[in-house]
Amino acid sequence: MIHKAAFIALLCAASFAFNGCTGEDENPAVPAPATSLTGTWDLFIENKLPEAWLWLEITDDNGVLTGNYVYATGSIPLKGTCNSAGDVSVVYEQKDPDMAMPVRGVLEGKAHADRTVISGTIRVLIPESGTVVYWGPFYACKR
């Protein structure tokens, strides 16, 4: 009977000792950082008001980005790329109803390693002439 009790105790001790290696413990390892930019991103552009009315809706299909640049009264389709190093480039183009010509926005920046923040610069220009209407820093935070 002692041998059976010793065997059970040894089995329990071994199970306890190796439980952390199986991934079945009560404190699992921290999950790997997200690699996708898919989601809704609050967009903040320096000197651009109102900041709270801008966001990006992004779908990331293996580094090919699609979605919408959303503002207070509508949205504009966007497209872009993100590589494994986190380099992000997004372009949107829309004919502004208040202007006689189309406007193009180009956001270029870097996604942080955890893929919850993107920061960089935005240029808004008139495509036909290349005239830059606005240039400045931006950052976007994933909701």
Q: Name the burial class of residue 66, with classes exposed (0-12), middle (13-18) and buried (19+) by CB atoms within 10 angstroms of its CB.
A: middle
Kindly report, residue by residue over 111-121, the tens digit of the pLDDT.
999 999 999 99
Q: Which residue has the higher pLDDT, 20 or 121?
A: 121
DSSP state of 6: H
Burial 42-57 (b: 16+ CB within 10 A, else e): ebbbeeeeeeeebbbe
Mean pLDDT of 56-62: 96
Residue with tokens 């502004």: 96
Residues 127 and 58 in one domain: yes
Contacts for 41 with CB less than 8 Å, ≥ 6 apart: 55, 56, 57, 58, 118, 140, 141, 142, 143
Kindly report, residue by residue over 83-122, the tens digit of the pLDDT.
999 999 999 988 766 666 788 999 999 999 999 999 999 9
Report d(CA 47, CA 135) in Å as an integer: 10
Element (H, E) at 3: helix 2-22
Residues 2 and 19 in one domain: yes
Residues 45 and 25 in one domain: no
Residues 91 and 112 in one domain: yes
Number of domains in the chain: 2
